Structure 1
Amino acid sequence: MTLVLAMILDALFGEPKILWDRFPHPAVLMGRAVGALDTRLNSGTHRKAKGVLAMMLLAIGALLLGKIIALVPDYGALEIIVAAILFAQKSLVEHVRAVAVGLRQSLTEGRHAVSMIVGRDTAAMEEPAVVRAAIESAAENLSDGVIAPVFWFLVAGLPGLCLYKITNTADSMIGHRTQRHEQFGWAAARFDDLLNLIPARLTALLIAVSHGWTDPRPILRDAPLHRSPNAGWPEAAMAMVLDVSLSGPRSYHGQMQDFPWVHPDGNRSPGPEAIDAACSALWRAWALMLGIAAIVALV
């Protein structure tokens, strides 16, 4: 029942600000480890090979750390706490809901709130674009921040969870096709794609089933339209259950990019109420995953 208790603990308490104002969050420590290897190894020749070495070191360190924590003789209390810290359900819902709250105050506040959770340009966004960005972030981060960590805990316990989190952190920091990181971050990006292969599709299934959808054809049609091999699946499912068009044109670093629409027949001018519905969808999918975790624990 360790996983079930950890999921409930995260859902109840999230990330207490009073704690992380005093101590570094594990994600911060992981980021420092990735940054240190990036600084030390990402130079000169053979950068792809050095990136593979860096990812191997990070993976081995994460597996060992998870194993050590899991072996502490404290009746599983530390394992539950660490797992809860590495899940992100409540904090995800809070960050997404903040965008709806901001939009109801002003477009400026909505843009500011969504800029905290997306990497695209937000300064010139109109309200529908802000809403779509928030919903896309909700869907993708449900997979990356909740379902994938839970899945890998089910598969390999705390070592599996730690391995996934360090890989996802590395991908977010160095897994970009920039001049500095295209070679060095290749291993992190590809390994993250591999670890998310099943969880992304599981997330889409959880979203769909928790809303009574049993026809997979719209998801199968729209998910491959996304530029990511995995993010399209939860986004396609979220777009379907909310009847909102996602993706589409957006700006990165001052340059517009014409991405195809996901669920193109949906509402392209959603308001804050669509974000509210997305937050409800996050909890529905989480509750279904919790039920699965409980059944696995009992079996």
Structure 2
Amino acid sequence: MTIILAMLLDAIFGEPKAIWTRIPHPAILMGRCVSFIDRTLNHGPMRRDMGIAGMAGLVVAFALLGHLLEQFIGWPAQVIVGAILLAQKSLVDHVHAVSVGLRQSLADGRFAVSMIVGRDTDAMDQPAVARAAIESAAENFSDGVIAPLFWFLVGGLPGLMVYKITNTADSMIGYKTEKYIEFGWAAARFDDLLNLIPARLTALLFILPYPRLWHFKSIYADAIKHRSPNAGWPEAALSRVLNVALSGPRPYHGQMQNYDWVNDGARTALTVDDIDAAIVQLWRAWSIALIMILLIAFICG
């Protein structure tokens, strides 16, 4: 029941600015820990080994922290920490901000979407802004909601903590740049491993209410085209629910990247209404996840 309470608290309150403008959010503290190992270990000829050692240290430390919180505080810690580290309402708010901005002007829409994607946004037209918002919704629902829930359910607070520190590390050092291709290797690979099951569960949650879309071979065919071993699954599923094409060519750092289309042949002229429809699907999939966890709790007694 603690996971259910955490989900409901997150869905209702999200990340209250009144709190997190006064004290650092745990995600910020995790980021500082990753920055510390980056500064202290990312040098010399053995960067991959140092990156492995740094990630091992972070994983052990945060697993131990989660264990201590459970042992000495108990279920209140599970509920509060769980609610803080889940990101359903925060994700919905950020995606909704793109919808609101795009309805005001293209410039406002570009600015709002630049807060949640890493690609170049200055030259985006309306369909590109909407597409970027929906892709971010799909990927971050997996990374920020379903994966934390999965590891919370499997491993309690230690499992949740390990997932969050790994995901934070991947977002900071898991890049194929000269600086991080070796040092961030462990973070990127471990994050891929931890998201392997949740990404596919996310795809299932999106299409579950629509039996006509249970074409798993086509979802798999699109998912494996993605540059990430996991992000393609929720994108492939959500694109079919919305009947739109996602991914495709886009610019990063001034260079056009010719990525394959996901759900190629579907509609590419996306609108603000498609963003709103994606938000509906985020809540629908979240509700299904909640019901599933309730059933698990009932069955396990």
Smaller-chain TM-score range?
A: over 0.9
Using the aligned pairs only, state the percent identity. 60
| Offset from partner CA, 1:9-67 (integer Å, 9 cap, x none) | 10000000100000100000000000000000001110000000000001001100100
Matching of residue 45 in structure 1 with residue 50 in structure 2:
no
Matching of residue 200 in structure 1 with residue 219 in structure 2:
no
Count residues in correspondence: 298
Does the 8 Å CA contact 1:102/1:109 hold for their aligned counterparts? Answer: yes
Within 5 Å, which residues of 2 pair with 1:102-113? Answer: 102-113=101-112
Give, in angstroms, the shift of residue 292 of structure 1: 1.0
Separation in 1, partners of 2:179, 2:161 = 26
Within 5 Å, which residues of 2 pair with 1:107-146? Answer: 107-146=106-145
Give, in angstroms, the shift of residue 216 of structure 1: 1.9
Separation in 2, partners of 1:291, 1:214 = 20
TM-score by length of 2: 0.97
TM-score by length of 1: 0.98
Within 5 Å, which residues of 2 pair with 1:112-261? Answer: 112-212=111-211, 213-261=213-261
Extract unaligned runs of 5+ from structure 1: none
Does the 8 Å CA contact 2:3/2:78 hold for their aligned counterparts? Answer: no
Does the 8 Å CA contact 1:10/1:88 hold for their aligned counterparts? Answer: yes
**Once superposed, what is the RMSD of the aligned Cα atoms?**
0.9
SS in 2 for 1:230: coil
Separation in 1, partners of 2:129, 2:46 = 41
Aligned residue in 1 for 2:67: 67
Separation in 1, partners of 2:189, 2:220 = 22
Letter in 2 for 1:122: T
Does the 8 Å CA contact 1:206/1:289 hold for their aligned counterparts? Answer: yes
| Offset from partner CA, 1:84-116 (integer Å, 9 cap, x none) | 000000000000011011010000000000000
Separation in 1, partners of 2:96, 2:278 = 9
Does the 8 Å CA contact 1:99/1:114 hold for their aligned counterparts? Answer: yes
SS in 2 for 1:210: coil
Aligned residue in 2 for 1:88: 87
Deviating above 3 A after TM superposition, structure 1's stretches of 4 or more consecutive aligned residues are 210-213
Letter in 2 for 1:79: Q
Separation in 1, partners of 2:42, 2:34 = 11
Letter in 1 for 2:138: A
Aligned residue in 2 for 1:271: 271
Letter in 1 for 2:126: E
Give, in angstroms, the shift of residue 164 of structure 1: 0.1
Separation in 1, partners of 2:221, 2:264 = 11
Does the 8 Å CA contact 1:210/1:288 hold for their aligned counterparts? Answer: no
